[in-house]
Structure 1
Amino acid sequence: MIIFDCNGVLVDSEPIATAVAAEAFQRVGINMTPEMVTRYFTGRRPTDMFVDVEKAAGVQLPARFAATVAAATLVRISQEVRAIPHVEHALSWLRGPKCVASSSSLDRVRVSLDSTELARFFGRNVYSANDVAEGKPAPDLFLHVAQQTGVEPKDCIVVEDSAAGVSAAVAAGMVAIGFVGGSHADEALPGKLEAAGATLVIADMRALKGAVMELRGF
């Protein structure tokens, strides 16, 4: 089975989400830029980000802060999100079961997939880290996916764009392919993904089929 992260792998949504989060932090007096959100929180659950920011800043965020950020993100994603270049090609040519495992809420993942017409490739096989105890880099989400689909972790290949996601896949006993083709990726990202345990790193979705075949021994 091939397990895809959503943001930055299937859809180019990271710049949208980081901009919304940074603007929200700034409105409550926390000096956070989109670049800082990307650097420290890519691949992680928004709820975990909010907890870490509260601890680091020594403040308590407003009661409706998380809900406000989530709603604003959904609106902008529905209006602005685009599929990662050539991802439809990759999904069309990959054989076998495929699913999505994201740190985002199920609502956000569904909006992302529907807005880019990618939902048809996954059906009901869409999972959110909100359904498990610990988010990435913990392995909980990927182990949950394996249990729900009846596929052994060793038979899963994960496509991830963050060190947290790659670490989670490796900890779950799965093989990870790092993807660095999103618009948020910088020159340091390939090294970070390799250091986290990615077996292969690709920058173009047209290379995904070959990478999967290599890992499967074809």
Structure 2
Amino acid sequence: MSSNTAPDRIDAVIFDCDGTLVDSETLSAKVALDMLAEHGVVLDYEDMLARNRGRQFARIVDELRAAYPHAVADDFIEDFRTRTLHTFRQHLQPIAGAVALVEALHLPMCVASNAPRAKIEACLEITGMLSHFQDRIVSAYEVGAWKPDPALVLAACALFDLPPERCLLVEDSVAGVEAGIAAGVHVLAYRIDTPGTHWPSDRVRLIDDLADVLTRVAA
């Protein structure tokens, strides 16, 4: 999407984590499917992947428990976190171009994610990006709000002491983009295919390559 007006100046960048910086969503979906399959529940991989993207995990588990109560025990989330961390340590990779981007970006940046801080830090550490963010991590579990609620994005803006219109959010989920729009930040929607969705062109641009982030902040 493009605008006829000159882009506003960007002074800080907010990254989502899962699916934007690290390729964790595919691994997480497979872990969840394996856990359900152990109890005789076989679900479609693409459906599970879509179900997970950009949503609060506790709500996903509530939906699964309502549909398959015999397969979702009280310790499902704890078991899932343990298994995914083990899987991440073996197989997690950064999204193509993510490491080069955070190394090249000379603006303040942070991560704002629906995930717990421990998971965010583990993913960034495993993929070699944690040092670029240090303590600049905003977790929905600490804010008490999950995307598409804009509070998480606004908390990230507050971390920089900047108004939303001076911040850029890089997101791979519809919920994240909607949170960014509601918060008033500029948004780069990374590899989101949403036929029929009309986002404001002065706030949202679609990108297929993380290198486009550098182009946007230099505009």
Please tell me the TM-score bracket, short chain as reference: 0.7 to 0.9
Percent of aligned pairs with the same residue? Answer: 27
CA RMSD in angstroms, aligned pairs only: 2.1
Residues 137 and 118 of structure 1: CA distance in aligned 2, closer, same or farther (over 3 Å): same
Letter in 1 for 2:213: L
* Alignment-derived partner of residue 185 in structure 1: none
SS at match of 1:127: strand
Residues 196 and 15 of structure 1: CA distance in aligned 2, closer, same or farther (over 3 Å): farther
SS at match of 2:159: helix
Q: Does 1:47 align with 2:58?
A: yes
* Alignment-derived partner of residue 59 in structure 1: 69
Q: Does 1:14 align with 2:17?
A: no
SS at match of 1:205: coil
TM-score w.r.t. the length of structure 1 is 0.85
Q: Supply the distance in 1 between the matched residues of 2:46 and 2:193 (Cα, whole angstroms).
A: 17
Deviations 1:62-106 (A, max 9, x none): 111110001101111111111112222222222210000111221
Matches within 5 A, 1:63-212: 63-180=74-191, 189-191=192-194, 195=198, 199-212=204-217
Q: Supply the distance in 2 between the matched residues of 1:132 and 1:196 (Cα, whole angstroms).
A: 26
Residues 34 and 123 of structure 1: CA distance in aligned 2, closer, same or farther (over 3 Å): same
Structure 1 residue ranges (4+ consecutive) displaced by more than 4 angstroms after TM superposition:
none
Equivalent residues of 2:188, 2:207 under 8 A apart: yes
Deviation at 1:122, TM superposition (A): 0.8
Please tell me whether Structure 1 or Structure 2 has the larger radius of gyration of its CA atoms.
2
TM-score w.r.t. the length of structure 2 is 0.85
Q: Any stretches of 5+ residues in structure 2 without a counterpart?
A: 1-11
Q: Supply the distance in 2 between the matched residues of 1:134 and 1:26 (Cα, whole angstroms).
A: 31
Residues 203 and 77 of structure 1: CA distance in aligned 2, closer, same or farther (over 3 Å): same
Q: Supply the distance in 2 between the matched residues of 1:90 and 1:50 (Cα, whole angstroms).
A: 33
